[in-house]
Every structure is written in C-alpha cells, then in structure tokens.
Chains A and B, each alone.
Chain A
Amino acid sequence: MEINNEIFAKIETQTEHIFKSAGWNAELVINYERIDKAVDRALLEHVMRDTSTFVFKGFGAALSGLSAAFFGSAIHSDVNYRA
C-alpha cells in the first residue's frame, strides 16, 4: 500500500512541530564526564583483551619451552661437559 505523499508530508510537518516545540532536537549539552568514563572503560577493556591474548598465547609457548628443556635435559643427562 502506497502512502499519499501529500498526506505523509502534512502529518510529518505537524509531528515535527510538536517535537520541536518539546525541544526534542534542541542542542544538547556535552557531558564530558560521560565521555571520560567511556574512554576509560574502552582503554581498560583494550588492555584486558591484550593481556588475555598475551597470557593464552604466551602460556603455550612457555609450556613447550619448559617441555623442551625437561626432555632435553633427560636425554642429555649422561653427557659430561666438565672441563
């Protein structure tokens, strides 16, 4: 069903007038405290994500390094490098 453009434009104008009178599109006062809070939270989440990534990726690397060191020393325990 198509809406008659004239009827649509009329009700749009009338509705806009009501909302404008009620100040719905008035210029808003900037809330810098809210902005600071959002920025702080965003930074914190970013740091947490980076830390989690490091821990999980680093954990695997650390584990394989430890395993290599353990098995390596077991295999070569009979070697004597004293000089």
Chain B
Amino acid sequence: MVEALRKLATRDVSGLEELSDEKVVELCKQELPDDLTAYRELLRRYEGLIVNTCNKILNSPSDAEEVGQDVMIQIFHKINQFEGRSLFKTWLYKIVHNYCNNRLSKIIRKREGSEKYEDLEAQRELSRENEHVSQELSADVQESIAELKEKEREVLTLKFMSGLTIQEIADVLELGLSATKMRLYRAMESFKEVYIQKKNVDTSFYE
C-alpha cells in the first residue's frame, strides 16, 4: 500500500534536475507529504554521498546503510526546519554528523577486535564492487583511515569525499574556523603517518 502511495505521489522529475538545492527544498516544503517528487530529487542528489560519508565515518557498511536511511527520513520530517541560513548541504551534513555520532557511541560500546576485522573485510568488498574506484589504493586508504580517531576520520571525509569547504565543515561541526582548520591539519598529519607506515611508500612524496 505504501508503495502504491509513493507511486501516486510522484510526478515526472524532468526539469527538477536543473534547479538549485534551495529551490528544490522550497518545493519540498510546499508539496510534502502529498507530492514526493521534489523530495525524491533531493535524495537522488545526496543519497550516495550520505551513505558513503556514513560509511567512511562509521567504518561499517551495515551501520552506514541504517544511519543513511535514518538521515534520509529525517530530511522528510524536518525539512520545514531548514530556514536557508546556511547551504542545504551544510544543514544535511549536520544531520549526518549527529546521527553518526549517536551510532558511534553504540559501536564503541559493542565493538570487539573481530568485528572490526570483519567490517574492514566488508569494506574491502564494497570497494571492489565500485567500478570507478582504484581498488587496491582505495582499500589501503580506507585501512589507514580506519586507524584514525573518529573525529579525524570525520573531518577528512567531510573535506575530501563530501567536498565541503573549511567554513562549511566548521558550520557542520559547530566549531570556529581556526579550530576546524587545526583539526583538519592534525587529521591529515595523522593520516600521512599511518599511510606511510602501511604502504612503506616513498616518503619523498610528502617532502
């Protein structure tokens, strides 16, 4: 029945693709819950980034799927709370950040060494399935990232995967600009250290 409702409430999406995020958000506010077209367009733009970001932060594909779904549903319920004072992307990543933090608290309590290994193997499997990714390099990067602290993983993911600027990251994390820059710098330094050790790479690359 829900599937039938979903089909009834979705019209042709052509034309929405060219609109800015903010215009699509306005449509969502006007049309939800009766018309889902604009909402689907938002999800089309961001579902991959949401789940991938969660995956990189949580280092667990199964948790990332669940948290990603929760985030997408939150957009539906809370879209009227977006007032346009920041970019939609920034608002979205705040939700991702909050949900990932909540899940991390649970994961840290439950995680054991064997689970971490299984998740790393699952992540390797996920990397192999993506035709656009340099498989070995991605797995090595992911392993290095996995050894960092959660806050370092998060800031690297927001910067290098989600493509946020430092100001946008500061808004998401609710930090000052200097503090964000310092966190990012330290995260890059930590990543460099782990990556070099793991790969025994030629350190002159980093000179």
Contact B133 A23 (CB under 8 A): yes
- Any chain B CB within 8 A of the CB of A35? yes
Task: Name the residue of chain B whose CB is nearest to the CB of A49.
Answer: B77
A53 to chain B, nearest CB (A): 14
Contact A3 B51 (CB under 8 A): no
Contact B178 A21 (CB under 8 A): no
Report, as a range, how many residues of chain B touch the other chain. Answer: 35 or more
In the complex, which residues of chain A have a beta carbon less than 8 angstroms from the beta carbon of B141? 18-19, 22, 24
**Contact partner, B73, options A11, A12, A26, A38, Cβ 8 Å:** A38
How far apart sit A45 and B77, CA to CA, in the bound complex (Å)?
9
- Any chain A CB within 8 A of the CB of B100? no
Chain B residues with a Cβ under 8 A of chain A:
2-3, 5-6, 9, 33, 36, 39-40, 43-44, 47-49, 51-52, 56, 65, 68-69, 72-73, 76-77, 130, 132-134, 137-138, 140-142, 156, 160-161, 163, 178, 181-182, 184-185, 188-189, 191-192, 195, 205-206
Report, as a range, how many residues of chain A touch the other chain. Answer: 35 or more
Chain A residues with a Cβ under 8 A of chain B:
1-3, 8, 11-12, 14-16, 18-19, 21-31, 34-47
In the complex, which residues of chain A have a beta carbon less than 8 angstroms from the beta carbon of B163? 25
**Contact partner, B185, options A3, A23, A31, A34, Cβ 8 Å:** A3
How far apart sit A45 and B78, CA to CA, in the bound complex (Å)?
13
